[in-house]
Structure 1
Amino acid sequence: MITPDPYATWFRRRAEGGDWGSETIAAAIVTPLLLMLLCLAIAGGRIVTSGAKIDAAAEDAARAASVSRTYSGAQAEAAAAAARSLDDQGIRCASSSTNVDASGLAVPLGEVGTVTVTISCTVAMSDLLLPGMPGSKTMTSRFTSVVDAFRSREG
């Protein structure tokens, strides 16, 4: 038994005038799905990029706090560095908080301490995705920086 060539059958049907609308219907079904998939990929990429920018702000804030000599100075330096970094990178937080654990500044000279900064930033979805999108997303990042063991501190 000889099986017919599927391509020959397709060409014969096309030549006879059958199945002319099937490509249009398939395109009408598949095109919106592909566009939605593309939009979801772009949205995911923008959210990940914003998270990376908040990670960088936490790193900048922790480094600024770790070179401070006092606990209150570390708090102020971390908050200022976080705000500066978020502003430089174009992140607009609807609300933000910067928490600093500067207990590493209280360790005796010669011992290594750490400073940990946690930044929480609530970003409107209209800033992340499309103008007019409802909702918001809260992103949190934490970074720990080492305090120089032999740098003078006031505690």
Structure 2
Amino acid sequence: MTTLFARAALRKDRGSEAIQAAIVTPLLIAFLCMAVAAGRIIQSGSKVDAAAEDAARAASIERSYGAATSAASEAAARSLDDQGVSCASKRVSVDAGGLNVPVGQIGYATVTVSCTVSLSDLLLPGAPGSKTMTSTFSSVVDAYRSRQG
């Protein structure tokens, strides 16, 4: 008698796994896409940080403001390219005021790198199409290195 009740109960549950799979599968795919987007944002942020460090160091070893600006822009672009980051738009802002301080005093070269990373290829509904990552880094200008005025 119990086997009849068990068989009847099994017949009532037929197809419930398919319904559960139909409900859960899109949620799992959306979760996976969100995890990929979060990973891409975190990874791009750390690579933009590294590019800002490289650019600030390149600016701090130059002797003039113009050379520091061009060296920082080149270093940031090279660093992002070497790390495989493709920016939809890129901006490098340089404050090399530390190159104007007299020899013997400490100055700083500060660089801000902004990179817009595309997320539209993830096809995640409700997600932004892009995210702008910004990083600022300062590097000490050698106090006893000669400078051009």
Partners of 1:84 and 1:76 lie apart in 2 by 12
Partners of 2:5 and 2:55 lie apart in 1 by 69
Q: Structure 2 vs 1, CA of residues 85 and 12 (structure 1 numbering), >3 Å: closer, same or farther?
A: farther
Deviation at 1:39, TM superposition (A): 1.2
Is residue 80 from structure 1 mapped to residue 58 from structure 2 by the alignment?
Answer: no
Give the number of aligned pairs. 143
1:67 to 61, 68, 84: 61
Aligned AA (2:27): L
Residues 37 and 119, structure 2, Cα contact 8 Å, conserved in 1 = no
Aligned AA (2:51): A
* CA RMSD, 1 decimal: 2.5
2:38 to 30, 36, 44: 44
The equivalent residue for 2:29 is 35
Partners of 1:106 and 1:32 lie apart in 2 by 59
Partners of 2:81 and 2:36 lie apart in 1 by 23
Larger Rg: 1
Residues 44 and 117, structure 2, Cα contact 8 Å, conserved in 1 = no
Deviation at 1:140, TM superposition (A): 1.5
TM-score by length of 2: 0.82
Unaligned runs of 5+ in 2: none
**Farther off after superposition, 40-49 or 21-30:** 21-30
Deviation at 1:92, TM superposition (A): 2.1
The equivalent residue for 1:123 is 117
The equivalent residue for 2:138 is 144
Partners of 2:128 and 2:135 lie apart in 1 by 23
Aligned AA (2:91): S
Unaligned runs of 5+ in 1: 1-8
Aligned AA (2:42): V
The equivalent residue for 1:20 is 14
Q: Percent identity?
A: 63
Residues 13 and 19, structure 1, Cα contact 8 Å, conserved in 2 = no
Partners of 1:135 and 1:61 lie apart in 2 by 27
Partners of 1:154 and 1:12 lie apart in 2 by 96
TM-score by length of 1: 0.79
